[in-house]
Amino acid sequence: MKTPLSPSTFSVLAVTTAATIATHLAHLPPWLTPALAVLIVLRVAWRRRHPGAVPGALRLPLAALLMAAIIGEYGNVLGRDPGSAFGCGLLALKLLEAETPRDARVTLGFCAFVLMSALLFEQGLPFTLMVCGVLLLQVAAFNRLEPAPLPSPRPLRQSLMLAGRLLLLALPLAFASFVLIPRLGTPLWGAPGGGGGARTGLSESMAPGQFTDLMLDDSPAFRVTFDGPPPAPDAQYFRTLVLGDFDGTTWTRTPTGRRSTTPPRLQAGQIFDYRITIEPTEQRWLPALDTPIQAPDGAVLAGDETLIATRPLLQAREYRVRSRVGAHSDTTLPAWQRERFLALPDAIDPRARALAAQWRRQASSDADVVERALALFHANFTYTLTPPLLGRDSVDEFLFDTRSGFCEHYASAFVFLMRAAGIPARVVTGYQGGWWSNAGGYLLVRQSDAHAWAEIWRNGSGWQRVDPTAAVSPARIEHGAARVNDAPSWNQTDWLRSLRNHIDIINRWWTQGVIRFDALRQRALLTEFGLVHNQAGDLLLALSGTLALMLLLATLWALRDLRDRRGDALDRGWRDLQRRLIASGLPANPADGPHSMWQHLHAQDAALAGTLRPLVDEYARLRYASATPPDAQMQRWLNARRQWLSTHLRRRGIQQRLRRMQAWFATSRSFRGSS
């Protein structure tokens, strides 16, 4: 055990460690990754020349340095981000002192833990598959620590194949335990703090240029399954946040409190029932189609008719909503709200204010003002994802100088104009459109489908959606943002996009079937299988039962006797006969030939041997007369053997067992007597 690791084994260990750390690359601080890489490479190179562990005089300062650097970066070593960075650093440091198989095992165990913590940051299917690949490497590395004394050392491929074989063997048990391990309803200790990691999605504020990142982000935001037919593409507005406060550059959310539970008035408008599976965002906003009527569990319906979850979305989450499309619930606007949705910062954007005032004077109604604004956009504005930068009077510059931009510019300028013209208005951000999967029957909405539009207050009919972007670029509403983007980036060519869309059905299955497999879904699944009570105890019972069954199967597999597979049916029959004779306490040395065996038998039990004689003779004739005895004769012999066993040996076997039991009783009695 004390022998140092061979260079090749150490290399495998180093590669495994590096691969494990690589799963954390996305969120490690930028200075740590190259430092760890250099450390590992130096260690491998150094060990080739100078075997032995790196002295503690060097390791301890390095560990202290690591800790200081982590605290400097995060202010803390606890928590998800600093913890994982610290873990990666310690793992690399552990490699410095790994010399014996025992050290290597400890290192690999630590690797497994660090690997698992990578899944706290990212849970997509491709990433999980990658993590499984690293897991296989770890298992193979474990295997390489076992001595392999054949003339040539065991090739790495063989260890990897063993790991793959173990994986296949483990799959049923892993699957069963995954399904049956009772999930915790509430965490045992605090859930991880926020910060980094999940896709941020929409945020609580909207500043120019902020959407650009989102629109280039092709990752899924959420998926929607409708109970009935889906709404038309131009009605697929998923409202998420209502931004009512403007400081000249940035729109921020107006807190409106929880919605009072007045019954929604009956209105025209279409009702949709649907289910949304949303990716983790670490925010609390839940998108919903147009106007949600009721909040799902774990969320509240805010005053501005948006859904707010009671806890941040650290995990993927699924919720059911019923929405009304085409009409809002409110008919009156309280004075304080009206004032709020008319407010503008002082002394900025004079030209826009002047234009709005001019419209107000000329227009006959609010609708007319809206018409004029949309006509302005429609006439000579262009839609682009790469607009020029705007200065202090952003709305003025956009309206009169640059005249190009995308949804957030249009929504911002439109709401500004409406407010300046005395019409209460607000910016709404959310998602518009998406990709309809025919195969999966669901709507896939990506981050790049993020959109901003406006809502204006119309006396008598309430809030009404106006999408100024549609006036500029109707295609954006019909086909989505990326289609109209005049400069397609490398990852958004048509065929690739279409391929990604089609593959998304797998991601959806992963999100719904695995990531979202929580206590609720577990219960639903098990109810189908007749486990109705589904208390944790029942689950554990089912788990133990499955475990026992699998252990039994594995045991049978492990015990499968090899001896019996050698030779032909005749050989097997003969060996079986010998085994049974031995089991009955008769002499049957496998090394003896048939006749000498029979003689030994005869010496012990002449009567029994007499009945066996024809069988022995026939066996000897069949076995030694030709290399391949005819099947029919072989079969006849096997039948005769079976008959002999059942008539003569069974009785003897029972007697034998009785005698053994008597003897056992006798010894136990004598033992009791002696003690």
Partner 1 sequence: MPQAFAATRRRLLALAERRLPALTRLKRAESLPVRLGRRRIYVLPTRFGLGFAVLLLVMLLGALNYGNNPALMLTCLLGAMAGASLFIGFRDLSGLTLTQVRVDEMHAGQPSLLRLRFDPGGRSRASLRLRLDDWEDSFALPGDAPHDIEVPCIPPTRGWNSCGRLRVWSQYPLGLFNLWSWIHPDTQFLVFPALEENPPPLPAGNGFFGERTRQGDSEELAGLRDYRSHDPRRLIAWKASLRHDRLLVRETEPRAGEALTLDYATLRGLDHEARIRRLTSWVLAAEAARASYTLRLPDTTLGPALGDAQRRACLRTLALLPPAGAGR
Task: Please give the Cα distance from 75 to 571 (Å, whole number).
Answer: 75
Min CB(133)–partner 1 separation in Å: 12
Does 112 bind partner 1 (CB under 8 A)? Our answer is yes
- Binding-residue total with partner 1 (CB under 8 A): 69
Among 267, 315, 464, 633, binds partner 1 (CB under 8 A): 315
Among 132, 271, 379, 661, binds partner 1 (CB under 8 A): 132
Beta strand pairing call for 425-432 and 237-246: antiparallel
Q: Is-contact 116 86, C-beta < 8 A?
A: no
Name the segment binding partner 1 (CB under 8 A); options: 129-137, 269-277, 487-495, 630-638: 129-137
Beta strand pairing call for 270-278 and 404-405: unpaired
Task: Please give the Cα distance from 556 to 576 (Å, whole number).
Answer: 19
Residue 330: other Cβ atoms inside 10 A: 18
Does 170 bind partner 1 (CB under 8 A)? Our answer is yes
Does 27 bind partner 1 (CB under 8 A)? Our answer is no
Among 284, 458, 502, 516, binds partner 1 (CB under 8 A): 516
The answer to whether 234 is a known catalytic residue is no
Marked catalytic residue, from 24, 330, 396, 407: 407
- Smaller CB separation from partner 1, 166 or 235: 166
The answer to whether 407 is a known catalytic residue is yes
Among 59, 154, 458, 648, binds partner 1 (CB under 8 A): 154
Min CB(16)–partner 1 separation in Å: 14
Q: Is-contact 601 612, C-beta < 8 A?
A: yes
Does 361 bind partner 1 (CB under 8 A)? Our answer is no
Among 336, 495, 529, 557, binds partner 1 (CB under 8 A): 557
Q: How far is CA 253 from CA 69, 256, 428, 661, in A?
A: 37, 9, 9, 85
Min CB(43)–partner 1 separation in Å: 23
The answer to whether 538 is a known catalytic residue is no
Task: Please give the Cα distance from 452 to 469 (Å, whole number).
Answer: 9
Min CB(406)–partner 1 separation in Å: 35
Among 68, 119, 536, 541, binds partner 1 (CB under 8 A): 119
Give the dihedral sign, CA 145/151/152/154: negative
Does 162 bind partner 1 (CB under 8 A)? Our answer is yes
Closest to 433 measured CA to CA, from 487, 375, 366, 478: 478
Cα atoms found within 13 Å of the Cα of residue 66, Cβ hemisphere only: 25
Name the segment binding partner 1 (CB under 8 A); options: 36-44, 252-260, 366-374, 561-569: 561-569
- How many residues belong to the chain? 675
Does 562 bind partner 1 (CB under 8 A)? Our answer is yes
Task: At 424, give phi and psi (nearest 5°).
Answer: -60, 130
Does 517 bind partner 1 (CB under 8 A)? Our answer is yes
Query: At 179, which helix (H) or strand (E)?
Result: helix 156-180
Name the segment binding partner 1 (CB under 8 A); options: 118-126, 450-458, 463-471, 531-539: 118-126
Q: Say whether 670 sits in a helix, a strand or coil.
A: helix
Q: Give residue for tokens 């409708």.
A: 226
Greatest CA span in the chain, whole angstroms? 129
Does 502 bind partner 1 (CB under 8 A)? Our answer is no
Among 82, 87, 101, 434, binds partner 1 (CB under 8 A): 101
> Residues 6 or more apart from 446 whose CB is under 8 A from it?
217, 218, 219, 220, 221, 434, 435
Among 31, 178, 624, 665, binds partner 1 (CB under 8 A): 178
Q: Provide the 8-state DSSP code for 121.
A: T
Does 78 bind partner 1 (CB under 8 A)? Our answer is no
- Smaller CB separation from partner 1, 183 or 338: 183
Per DSSP, helices labelled H in 318-428 are: 335-340, 350-362, 366-380, 394-396, 407-420
Does 91 bind partner 1 (CB under 8 A)? Our answer is no
Min CB(175)–partner 1 separation in Å: 8
Task: Please give the Cα distance from 10 to 21 (Å, whole number).
Answer: 16
Does 514 bind partner 1 (CB under 8 A)? Our answer is yes
- Smaller CB separation from partner 1, 119 or 475: 119
Among 100, 128, 200, 203, binds partner 1 (CB under 8 A): 128
Does 638 bind partner 1 (CB under 8 A)? Our answer is no
Any idea what the Cα angle at residue 59 is, between residues 54 and 65, rounded to 5°? 150
Q: How far is CA 395 from CA 126, 376, 416, 658, in A?
A: 43, 14, 8, 102
Report 447-466 residues binding partner 1 (CB under 8 A). none
Does 496 bind partner 1 (CB under 8 A)? Our answer is no
Q: Is-contact 142 102, C-beta < 8 A?
A: no
Does 131 bind partner 1 (CB under 8 A)? Our answer is yes
Contact residues: partner 1, CB under 8 A: 101-102, 105-106, 109, 112-113, 115-117, 119-120, 123, 128, 131-132, 135, 139, 142-143, 145-150, 154, 162-163, 165-167, 169-175, 177-178, 181, 183-184, 187-189, 191-192, 314-315, 514-518, 554-555, 557-559, 561-563, 565-566, 667-668, 671
Positions marked active-site: 407, 451, 467
